[in-house]
Amino acid sequence: MCLLLFAYRSHPRYPLIVAANRDEFFTRPTKPAGLWGTDPEILGGMDLKGGGTWLGINPTGSFSAITNYRNPVAMKNNLPSRGQLVVNFLRSKQSPETYLKRVSENEEQHEGGQHNGYNLLVFRNQQLGYYSNRGDTGPRLLSPGIYGLSNHLLNTPWPKVEMGRERLRRILGNDEVDPEAILQILSDRQTAGDQFLPVTGVPPEVERSLSSIFIRMDGYGTRCSTIVLLDNDGMFHFVELSYDEEGEKTTRVSFEVSAGPP
């Protein structure tokens, strides 16, 4: 996944609002979002190569998502799948603080880290935690606010992060949050001007293509857009659109999962 926009305790009706685009090679096998049928059940897509997921919820009221940290020079082969970090949290009963502390300690025990670079979000019992194995602040609980996360650290001011946060902020001015309006944010294909592009170790023309919220490249791009709303009654509203290599919608799934009062 390459873009997460989320509002935490920033709307009177929805304690958690998440808008996410997953960008990936189209050759990587993927199972569309659905209930996994494991114990506890996980609702989300499945990476059939690594066995994990990029974003998921469960019926106990938990949410987790991950993005990769882009640094091609530091990439190592044969490391564990980062998507398992999401699955492990959704299967656990640990608090966000406890889980992220354990994850960070495991990273520290491996020289150079146990995984390639990532940013991990975990939510349970009204607490939202964040950790990056490429940051220097360690795991932490987040305060209420509107956040953006792409393939660097939290709220790094890349153009699509800044634009996405601002557009999400406008939507939050409404009493009711319309998932269709959020999906419009995630469909924006406008690229940033070259003077605003970050430098992450990929060629400038690739950096330019990756600067849009919705990405379309040869063999690579936005595979799905996902909206997660958690309301004050403890109901998860989950909507996901999947796309083919031409950027055309292929499937749409919608779920409502009651987890009781959050």
Q: What is the CATH number of the domain that holds 190?
A: 3.60.60.10
Could you give the 3-state DSSP secondary structure of residue 238?
strand
pLDDT over threshold 80, residue 111? no
- CA gap 249, 234 in Å, rounded: 30
Write out pLDDT tens, residues 2-28. 999 999 999 999 999 999 999 999 999
Burial 1-22 (b: 16+ CB within 10 A, else e): bbbbbbbbebbeebbbbbbbbb
Question: Residue 41: pLDDT band by 50, 70, 90 thresholds?
Answer: confident
Q: Which residue has better confidence, 165 or 38?
A: 165
pLDDT over threshold 90, residue 42? yes
Residue 21 contacts residue 211 (beta carbons within 8 Å): no
Q: What is the pLDDT of residue 173?
A: 93
Q: Tell me the whole-structure pTM to 2 decimals.
A: 0.95
Q: What average pLDDT does the structure give for the chain?
A: 94
Percent of the chain with pLDDT over 70: 98
Task: Tell me how many domains the chain contains.
Answer: 1
The parent domain of residue 151 ranges over: 3-258
Could you give the 3-state DSSP secondary structure of residue 196?
helix
Write out pLDDT tens, residues 170-216. 999 999 999 999 999 999 999 999 999 999 999 999 999 999 999 99
- 197 CB burial (10 A radius; 0-12, 13-18, 19+): middle
